[in-house]
Structure 1
Amino acid sequence: MAEAAVELLEQAVRRDMSLEELRALRVALQAVPLATLRSLLGGPHLEALFGLLAVNDREQVSTCVSILERVLQAVDPLYVIHNFRDKLQKGLLHRDDSVKIFTISQIGRIIEDSAAVREILCSPELLQQVIICIGEEKIAVAKEAIKSLSRLAQNQEGLEAVFGSTLLDELRIVMGTSDVVRYRVYELIVEISSVSAEALNCCAGSGLISELLEELTGEDVLVRATCIEMVTSLAHTPQGRQYLAQQGVIDKISNIILQAETDPFSSFYLPGFVKFFGTLAVVDSPQQICERYPVFMEKVFEMAESQDPTMIGVAVDTLGILGSNVEGKQVLQKTRGRFQNLLSKIGHQAKNAPTELRLRCLDAISSLLYLPPEQQTEDLLRMTESWFTSLSSQPLELFRSISTQPFPDLHCGALRVFTAIANQPWAQMLMLSSPGFVEYVVDRSVEPDKASKDAKYELVKALVNSKTIAEVFGNQYYLRLRAYLQEGPYYVKAVSTTAVEGAE
């Protein structure tokens, strides 16, 4: 196959290739190992392949892009930037979006190479064109440009280049293209800010973060809804949270939630604002966030108790996030009867709501009920047991009925609930006392697809790995579960047939 690839590469150098020959070359190159390919390629081959992009035939361009993607994997990024800088520049200006995406991805490879990145830093015209690509109509082109520029900002030299006067001016020009493009630039700034405290300082110094925060707390409700997603991303990093606190943004968001009662358009931005506080609670401290911003918890309960499926979904997601760790669970437990009543509603929704909301309820229930083995105190076990019994008059049967429905997503969602409680002794005793439940767990025939088999296997694994399972289930069931675990999720019992002499 290497000989065929060499012959076709030589044809590319000597003359224009037909589409059939290009397809043959693509197939041949895929079969050649990269180490071998590296020894076959020369400058003229690459020059010729780049030249084949200069046509109006979309299929030929697409084939050439595939070929170049393959061969450039075998070429040192420093060699590419030294010898094909002009080709990269043309690629960024190509009329076909696939060529732009390919070219930006190659620039991304160069940026990630410690030796080659300096060449990019000395090529402001290339970086300017990448910034211009953020304003492209096709979102995939813009995303690739954002990704490459984010990579560039991974070190001090790259940061200085991005926020130097020339490129910063270009960013501001691109921002003026449209609202959509402006938000893309904000997305880039937030991604860069997440790299380090130094990167955030550079972004803050440019004034672009301040502009994002001004839009977030402005009067346009649709703009608020868009900006809060980016500000939530900023809150995932310690330096981002510190900056938001210093700028008083968290307090402002809390006040906006407080004033939402009188805003008829609050449904546009409230879900995002609540998710913001949910993120803060998880990455910071649930207790501190809920105590400092009581409006957050109050709003979550209001949304969960409402009749609006959209609001219920956001509230359920947030409760699942908040209750994903022990501190968050304890915060919810302090609300006493109100949360217990809410669990009853969540259990009802898990059974009767539209499918998407049922899935979100099942995931939230799994998160709320799970306790790591090392954190299973008597108090916490009593708490999760009381939560489970609050979900329904017969909660185990509720989830068992969901797990037997012919909808894979719901089936797996119910299995995840069982997996969440499988290592807790009260749940094991409940499973054992439920007629046929253990038989259902070890019955492979009820799992019709890979996702279901994997979900069932995780349940079996959680049971077997529990320290109390042998004592609670007894030796016979414990050994059956261990056998299931050892056989793996996809085991099929062999069936032998024996011919009987004289049988028809």
Structure 2
Amino acid sequence: MAAPIESLLNELRESEDPIEELKTLRTAVFATPVSGLREAVSGARLEILFSLLNTNDKEQIEVCVEILSRVLQTLDPVQLAQNYKTALHVGLNHPNDSVKVLTLTQIGRVVGHVDGVTQMLNSTEILRDVIQCISVESIAVAEKAVAALIELSSTKAGLDALFRSDLLKKLKDVMGTSDIIRYRVYELIVDVSTASPVSLGYCANSGLISQMLDEVTGEDILVRATAIEMVTNLAKSQHGRQYLAQQGVMDKIANMIIAAESDPLSSLYLPALVKFFGKLAIMDSPQQVCEKFPVFLEAVFSMAMTLEPTLTPVAVDTLGELGKTVEGKQVLHKAGEKFTSVLKKISKITSDGETELRLRCLDALTHLLTLPVEQQTDDLLLLTESWFNSLSSQPMAMIRNISIQPFPEFHCRALRVFTAIGCQPWGQRLMMDTPGFVEWMLDRSVGKGKEAKDCKFELVGTILSSSSTREIFGAQNYLKLKTYMKEGPYYVTAVSTVSTEGAD
């Protein structure tokens, strides 16, 4: 196949109207296995393909980009940088976005290679143009530019080039284009910072992290909310959290939550503040975070009790995430009546709220009530039982009523709530005390579709995972459950048809 591709490239050089030859080449390139294609283009000069990008014909550009996207992937990054540096530079300034995306993708490959990055560091003009691409209107181009710079920052030499040379000034100049572009750069800085403590040090010394942190308490409400999201992403790494603590950011955000009580515009940024501490609690310790910043949990409870569309969903999600862990459950339990009131509110929303919020409430209840066999202690079993019973006067009937609604998403989420309590002895006793529950659970005609059948199968499996199942459900029901599991989620009972001769 090498010869046909080489001859097709030669034909292109002699063609005055190359579109048909390009289409033929495209077919040959995509029909050739990568190994064969690598051999075919290893000694070929691809300048003709790059030169054919210099046109206003969109179809020609599209076909050239498709060919180059496949062909260039077969080239060694160092070879690509050495032989086609000029073409890459031209590609970054091409008016067509697909050419820019192609070029940035290849530059990302080069700077992510231990030897390729050395080649690129000698081409500061290319790197300056990569930074400039962050400011273009096309999100696809900007994202590729950011990705390439993140790859560049994966080595010390790349960090030095980006943060200890004129490229840093270029980066700061680009930030001045608009709020949107500034936050694209912040995203880059946060991604680089989370990679390692060394990377964070470079970003901190550049002054860009301090600039971002200042915007957390800025006057512009919307900018403030976006800055908090950036800071939350920075907190994903342990060294990032340590840095934020050293800078007093946690205390600042806690004070902002307190001040939000008297701010009529707080609904625009309060969810971001709560998400920050929610992520912090999950990554570190729910108990430590909630004890050190009690205003966080107070805000979550308050948001859950309102019906503010921007606040309640975040509160419900946060409670669900906290309730996934034993430590989080214990923190919520310590809140006593405050949390019980919140549970009743969640229960009410689950029954008659807006669809999306009802689904989120069911997910939160599943997390709060889940207690795997290996985590079950008398205290924790009493805790989950009391939470379930506080949902309503008849919580089993409430969840069951949701499960029989003609919407698959409600059916499955209700089943997951039952699955959450299915391996807990008190939950099993409730199931046995609920008339018709076991029969309903084993009825394969209830719930249509793969997801519903999978959820039912998971429920039965969870029940059988408990050592108390045989005793509570009895030998006959236990055998039925085991048979259900053995048959699998998609078992269909065979129905035989008997034909009678002479019958109508």
Q: How many Å apart are 1:30 and its aligned residue?
A: 3.7
Please name the residue that 1:353 is paired with: 353
Please name the residue that 2:34 is paired with: 34
User: 1:222 aligned to 2:222?
Assistant: yes
Judge which range, 319-328 or 433-442, deviates more.
433-442
Q: Deviations over 1:353-392 (max 9, x none)?
A: 1111112111211111112322111110111111111122
Change (3 A) 1:84 1:338: same
Q: What residue identity is the alignment partner of 2:342?
A: L
Q: How many Å apart are 1:52 and its aligned residue?
A: 3.2
Change (3 A) 1:409 1:110: farther
Change (3 A) 1:166 1:490: farther
Q: Deviations over 1:125-175 (max 9, x none)?
A: 222111111111112221222122122222322211221221111100100
Tell me the distance in 2 between the aligned counterparts of 1:107 and 1:495: 63
Please name the residue that 2:432 is paired with: 432
- Please tell me whether the aligned partners of residues 371 and 421 of structure 2 are also in contact (alpha carbons under 8 angstroms): yes
- Please tell me whether the aligned partners of residues 2 and 41 of structure 2 are also in contact (alpha carbons under 8 angstroms): no
Structure 2 residue matching 1:473: 3-state secondary structure: helix
* Equivalent runs, 1:459-478 vs 2, <5 Å: 459-478=459-478
- Please tell me whether the aligned partners of residues 190 and 234 of structure 1 are also in contact (alpha carbons under 8 angstroms): yes
Please name the residue that 2:283 is paired with: 283
Q: What residue identity is the alignment partner of 1:263?
A: D
Please name the residue that 1:79 is paired with: 79
Q: How many Å apart are 1:28 and its aligned residue?
A: 4.7
Tell me the distance in 2 between the aligned counterparts of 1:88 and 1:247: 41
Please name the residue that 1:343 is paired with: 343
Change (3 A) 1:52 1:474: farther
Q: How many Å apart are 1:495 and its aligned residue?
A: 5.7
Q: How many residues matched?
A: 504
Please name the residue that 2:260 is paired with: 260
- Please tell me whether the aligned partners of residues 419 and 459 of structure 2 are also in contact (alpha carbons under 8 angstroms): yes
User: 1:131 aligned to 2:128?
Assistant: no
Please name the residue that 2:240 is paired with: 240
Structure 1 residue matching 2:311: 3-state secondary structure: helix
Change (3 A) 1:145 1:499: farther
- Please tell me whether the aligned partners of residues 229 and 272 of structure 1 are also in contact (alpha carbons under 8 angstroms): yes
- Please tell me whether the aligned partners of residues 370 and 421 of structure 1 are also in contact (alpha carbons under 8 angstroms): yes
Please name the residue that 1:68 is paired with: 68
Q: Deviations over 1:308-363 (max 9, x none)?
A: 23211111111112222111110110111111121011011112111111121112
Tell me the distance in 1 between the aligned counterparts of 2:412 and 2:271: 27
Tell me the distance in 2 between the aligned counterparts of 1:444 and 1:13: 67
Tell me the distance in 2 between the aligned counterparts of 1:68 and 1:408: 45
* Equivalent runs, 1:305-344 vs 2, <5 Å: 305-344=305-344
Change (3 A) 1:82 1:304: same
Please name the residue that 2:49 is paired with: 49
Q: How many Å apart are 1:53 and its aligned residue?
A: 2.5
Change (3 A) 1:29 1:351: farther
Please name the residue that 1:370 is paired with: 370
Q: How many Å apart are 1:449 and its aligned residue?
A: 3.5
Q: Deviations over 1:49-76 (max 9, x none)?
A: 3333322233332333233222333332
Q: What residue identity is the alignment partner of 2:120?
A: I
Unpaired runs of at least 5, structure 1: none
Change (3 A) 1:240 1:86: same
Superposition RMSD in Å: 2.6
Q: Deviations over 1:271-326 (max 9, x none)?
A: 11111111111111111111111111111111111232321111111111222211
Q: What residue identity is the alignment partner of 1:112?
A: G
Structure 1 residue matching 2:100: 3-state secondary structure: helix
Tell me the distance in 2 between the aligned counterparts of 1:481 and 1:55: 69
Please name the residue that 1:207 is paired with: 207
Change (3 A) 1:207 1:38: same
Change (3 A) 1:395 1:168: same
User: 1:458 aligned to 2:458?
Assistant: yes
Tell me the distance in 1 between the aligned counterparts of 2:437 and 2:104: 55
- Please tell me whether the aligned partners of residues 89 and 126 of structure 1 are also in contact (alpha carbons under 8 angstroms): yes
User: 1:181 aligned to 2:205?
Assistant: no
Judge which range, 326-335 or 6-15, deviates more.
6-15
Change (3 A) 1:45 1:337: same
Structure 2 residue matching 1:44: 3-state secondary structure: coil
Q: What residue identity is the alignment partner of 2:106?
A: Q
Tell me the distance in 2 between the aligned counterparts of 1:200 and 1:45: 42
Please name the residue that 2:110 is paired with: 110
Q: How many Å apart are 1:15 and its aligned residue?
A: 3.2
Change (3 A) 1:213 1:498: same
Unpaired runs of at least 5, structure 2: none
- Please tell me whether the aligned partners of residues 16 and 52 of structure 1 are also in contact (alpha carbons under 8 angstroms): no
TM-score by length of 1: 0.92
Q: How many Å apart are 1:96 and its aligned residue?
A: 1.5
Please name the residue that 1:303 is paired with: 303
- Please tell me whether the aligned partners of residues 11 and 17 of structure 1 are also in contact (alpha carbons under 8 angstroms): no
Change (3 A) 1:372 1:64: farther
Change (3 A) 1:81 1:457: farther
Please name the residue that 1:292 is paired with: 292
Q: How many Å apart are 1:110 and its aligned residue?
A: 2.1
Q: Deviations over 1:16-62 (max 9, x none)?
A: 67556545554554443322322233453633333333222333323
Tell me the distance in 1 between the aligned counterparts of 2:445 and 2:35: 47
Q: How many Å apart are 1:267 and its aligned residue?
A: 1.4
Tell me the distance in 2 between the aligned counterparts of 1:291 and 1:395: 31
Q: Deviations over 1:419-453 (max 9, x none)?
A: 32232222222223333433443444444344434
- Please tell me whether the aligned partners of residues 13 and 45 of structure 1 are also in contact (alpha carbons under 8 angstroms): no
Change (3 A) 1:131 1:419: farther
Judge which range, 18-27 or 395-404, deviates more.
18-27
Tell me the distance in 2 between the aligned counterparts of 1:490 and 1:63: 46
Q: What residue identity is the alignment partner of 1:66?
A: E
- Please tell me whether the aligned partners of residues 42 and 75 of structure 2 are also in contact (alpha carbons under 8 angstroms): no
- Please tell me whether the aligned partners of residues 303 and 315 of structure 1 are also in contact (alpha carbons under 8 angstroms): yes
Identity fraction in percent: 55
Tell me the distance in 2 between the aligned counterparts of 1:37 and 1:499: 63
TM-score by length of 2: 0.92
